[in-house]
Amino acid sequence: MPADTVRAHESSARRVAMAGVIASLALAAMNIAVGVIASSTSVVAVGVEFAGDVLASAVVLVGLVLAARPPDENHPYGHGRLETLAGLLVGLLLIAGGTGIGYRSLIGIELRHQPPGGAAVWALVTAIAVRALMSTLKFRVGRRAGSTALVADAWNDAVDILSATAALLAVLLARVDPGRFLAADHYGGFAVGLVVVITGVRVAGDASRALADTMPAPEMMARLRDVVLSVPGVVGVEKQLARKTGLQYHVDLHLEVDPDMTVRASHRIAHDVKAAVRSRLSWVADVLVHVEPADEGSTKSTWRN
């Protein structure tokens, strides 16, 4: 991916992350205030969740800023892993926050009180609309940029839609028939916490797999092989590995070439392979090529892990 394109993606991701912080802050203040005034446990729970989102989005923003720093002597592969670490931290924050929300929602469930006021309904409807907009935007920008942290934040927003919808149903039940469904408001808050925990587990799992150097999807590796084998002089691919470092992958290749070829000629092929991969595969940041003599009888279709 050209450097200008990478920087443009990073800039877009940072702007969206900043917008997420502002939106979460506004929604948190609104829902907590309305929840207290309207006596709705569900709305307060959603507001507390949004307050946690402020912290999560801030972590994502910091991760994106740090990950954009260029490679240095101590970090020759760049600082991209900091972005993935931010995604992991977001997942852990979701798990902790969801647990707290669920616990607090069940406290005092047997107490009798007034049903939630009408303002609670409108606060939740507004939250659902804003979260739908932000989730769509973050998914689009995060996937285009290959940002684990921003996609994690998008999942966080998507969960907010589900949790706010559950809270809205609970509030409506409590308002329609307080005698039978007053506790639904508390259970709605608990449902919010449960959904947040489940999403946190998923987000943390995705980031952990990236940190554990999990290989890209098989179709991506197949495309990599096709590009390598299309370069003149490549007889086969003995091994190909890839690991994610931020928004892109670093690739290690073991090429097979004619064993009677000169060192100069094999070096030229390795250079051509590196150039082809970087120009044709936008998800590749850099390529390390190791040249090996092909076994007698090898063909261009040879490929072994």
Contacts of 190 (CB under 8 A, 6+ apart): 101, 102, 105, 106
Name the amino acid, one letter, at 151. V
Q: Tell how strand 284-293 and strand 236-245 pair up.
A: unpaired
Residue 3 is predicted with a pLDDT of 53
Residue 303: predicted pLDDT: 38
Q: Given the structure tokens 């609309």, which residue do they identify?
A: 129
Hey, what CATH topology would domain 218-303 get?
Alpha-Beta Plaits (3.30.70)
Q: Is 63 in contact with 170 (CB distance < 8 Å)?
A: no
- Strand 302-303: give its sheet, edge to edge: 284-293, 248-257, 236-245, 302-303
d(CA 274, CA 224): 11
Asked if 50 and 20 touch (Cβ cutoff 8 Å), the reply is no
**Res 6: pLDDT:** 56
| The predicted structure's pLDDT at residue 79 | 67
What is the model's pLDDT at position 2?
53
Give the lowest-confidence range in 129-138, 199-208, 261-270.
199-208
State both tokens at 202. 């998923």
Say what the alpha-carbon torsion angle 63, 67, 69, 70 is, to the nearest 10 degrees.
170
Residues in the chain: 305
- Please say if the pLDDT value at position 163 is more than 70: yes
Summarised one tens digit per residue, pLDDT across range 195-247 is 778 878 887 887 787 777 778 888 889 999 999 999 999 988 888 888 877 66
**pLDDT at residue 285 in the model:** 80
Distance (Å) of CA 136 to CA 25, 141, 155, 169, 218:
18, 9, 10, 23, 26
Task: Report the distance separating Cα 182 and Cα 43, nearest Å.
Answer: 14
- Asked if pLDDT for residue 301 goes beyond 50, the answer is no
Mean pLDDT over residues 286-299, rounded?
77
Quick check: 298 pLDDT over 90? no
- Residues of each domain in the chain carrying CATH 3.30.70.1350: 218-303
Range among 180-189, 243-252, 282-291 with highest mean pLDDT value: 282-291
Fold annotation for 3-211: Alpha-lytic protease prodomain-like (1.20.1510)
Predicted structure pTM score: 0.58
pLDDT above 90 for 272: yes
Mean pLDDT comparison of 19-33, 47-61, 163-177, 180-194, highest-scoring range: 19-33
**What are the percentages of helix, strand and coil residues in the chain, rounded to 5?**
70, 10, 20
Write phi, then psi, for 284 (nearest 5 degrees): -100, 125
What mean pLDDT is reported for the chain?
79
Q: Where in the chain is the domain with CATH 1.20.1510.10?
A: 3-211
* pLDDT average, residue stretch 247-264: 86
Q: How far apart are CA 215 and CA 146, in angstroms?
A: 15
The arithmetic mean of pLDDT across residues 135-164, rounded, is 80
| 249/33 Cα distance (integer angstroms) | 45
Reported as a single tens digit per residue, the pLDDT across 57-116 is: 677 677 767 776 777 777 766 667 777 777 788 788 878 878 877 777 777 666 565 667
**How far is residue 248's CA from residue 300's CA, in Å, rounded to a whole number?**
27
What is the mean predicted confidence (pLDDT) over 38-44? 79
Region for residue 200 given its phi and psi (left: phi exceeds 0; alpha: psi -120 to 50; beta: otherwise): alpha
pLDDT value at 161 more than 70: yes
